[in-house]
Amino acid sequence: MRIANIIEEGKLGGPQVRMVRVSAAMSNHDTIVVMPSSNSEQFQELCDSLDVDYRIVPLTRITKEWRVALAYIFCFPIEIFRLAQLLRRENIELVHASGGSWQYKAILASWLMRIPSVWHLNDTSMPLWIRYVFRLFTGLPDAFIFASERSRQYYGKRLASKLSAVIPSAVNSRFFDPSMSFDGDKETLAALGDNPVIGTIANINPIKGLETLVRCVAELMPRHPEIKVVVIGSAHRNQLALKERLYQLADDLGVAETIEWVGSRQDVRPILARINIYICSSLAESSPVSVWEAMSMGKAIVSTDVGDVSRYIRHGENGYIVKIGDYKSMAYKVSQLLDRPELGAVFGCRARAVVEDNFSPQIIAEKTENLYELALLNANGNRKGRKL
């Protein structure tokens, strides 16, 4: 079967990483990844590094930037037509729409071309208007993939009768292996010195809850003034104001010198290897690949209760879970791990075992291919029923 896995956002993040890793691991289907031309340079590099075939199409995205929003509305029918042409030209037999409930164009293009489709939902918090528009198109796909049980619950009973499966993100534990030695990021590692290091991987946007992280660090400083904190992630131009607010908050709380904002990295492993404790401060997630990567690297995790994190991080057994926004509880749990590094080592070992058992690309690819086959059967069955 020839698959087109399509996403309308080019900036490299969890959904894009998942698309490439799973496509690379598939053995029974021929997959091409379809991405926008804008902001997709790192996305393309990841495809190249894993030898995943891809196509670049001019696609606009939903945004609060009014010029881009106008372009999205104006170009909407044109871009659906472009995708439909690509599907025909590439002899696509099934479309996988990635990126969440606002990824309408791939679904509409597949419907126009009468090609079966699967819609991948990784949302647990979306604006109400997007959810209303999404409802208009829920009858078009032949199946749904939920990135987590939280995503399945978020969309509720409306999709209960549809063919679906919960399939989390993928992590290659042989690539994210703490026993390996890593080159690179020597300047960043030098800045961290020999201090205990707390870290997170998060692009700067409101949903990542980085204010919680900054306040957590301020709570920690009186007891652990020796710590260093590293944030791996970039800020898109429409988040520059948020970036400045976070910098100002860190300065106001007296922790500006403690936090290193190092920007995005193609390979996060050298810094992850140096981190002692990994923090996820997000306000909403589904299947956060950065958390799974940190677990694979044998790191002790302290995370807000988002997405399906609590299904894999058992509080007090292989990490800690705190309430969303509760920076004081987060600081207390981090402090416990700093005071007892042997406990962090035990948590990290157990966390890595969870990744090996649940998130390997082969396991995730097999689950995805099984749903593809069922979606194709479902589509063929529906067509026969309509003919009758």
Do 131 and 202 fall within a single domain?
no
Do 158 and 243 fall within a single domain?
no
Do 30 and 138 fall within a single domain?
yes
Q: Which DSSP helix (H) or strand (E) runs through 366?
A: helix 361-387
Predicted confidence (pLDDT) at residue 385 exceeds the cutoff of 50: no
Do 46 and 160 fall within a single domain?
yes
Total residue length of the chain: 388
Domains identified in the chain, total number: 2
Q: Which domain holds residue 237?
A: 186-358
What is the per-residue pLDDT across 126-138, written as a single tens digit (0 to 9) for each? 888 888 899 999 9
Residue 83 confidence (pLDDT): 97
Does 177 reside within a domain? no
Do 201 and 150 fall within a single domain?
no
What is the per-residue pLDDT across 231-243, written as a single tens digit (0 to 9) for each? 999 988 888 999 9
Do 14 and 147 fall within a single domain?
yes
Does 138 reside within a domain? yes
Which of 289, 286, 267 minimizes the C-alpha distance to 278?
A: 289
> The domain spanning residue 340 has which CATH number?
3.40.50.2000
Mean pLDDT value of segment 132-145: 93
**Any idea what DSSP says for residue 37?**
S
Residue 383 confidence (pLDDT): 55
148 touches 287 (CB < 8 A):
yes
Does 180 reside within a domain? no
Amino acid at 238: N
Does 179 reside within a domain? no
CB 74: neighbour CB atoms within 10 A?
A: 11
Mean pLDDT value of segment 62-87: 86
Predicted confidence (pLDDT) at residue 61 exceeds the cutoff of 90: no
Does 175 reside within a domain? no
Residue 66 confidence (pLDDT): 66
The predicted model scores a pTM of 0.90
Kindly state the tokens that stand for 87: 């599907």
Predicted confidence (pLDDT) at residue 387 exceeds the cutoff of 70: no
Does 34 reside within a domain? yes
Do 248 and 337 fall within a single domain?
yes
Do 299 and 374 fall within a single domain?
no
Does 78 reside within a domain? yes
Do 381 and 340 fall within a single domain?
no
Do 265 and 380 fall within a single domain?
no
Do 113 and 216 fall within a single domain?
no
* Euclidean distance between CA atoms 248 and 218, whole angstroms: 13
What is the per-residue pLDDT across 176-233, written as a single tens digit (0 to 9) for each? 999 999 988 999 999 999 999 999 999 999 999 999 999 999 999 999 999 999 999 9
What is the per-residue pLDDT across 241-257, written as a single tens digit (0 to 9) for each? 999 999 999 999 999 99
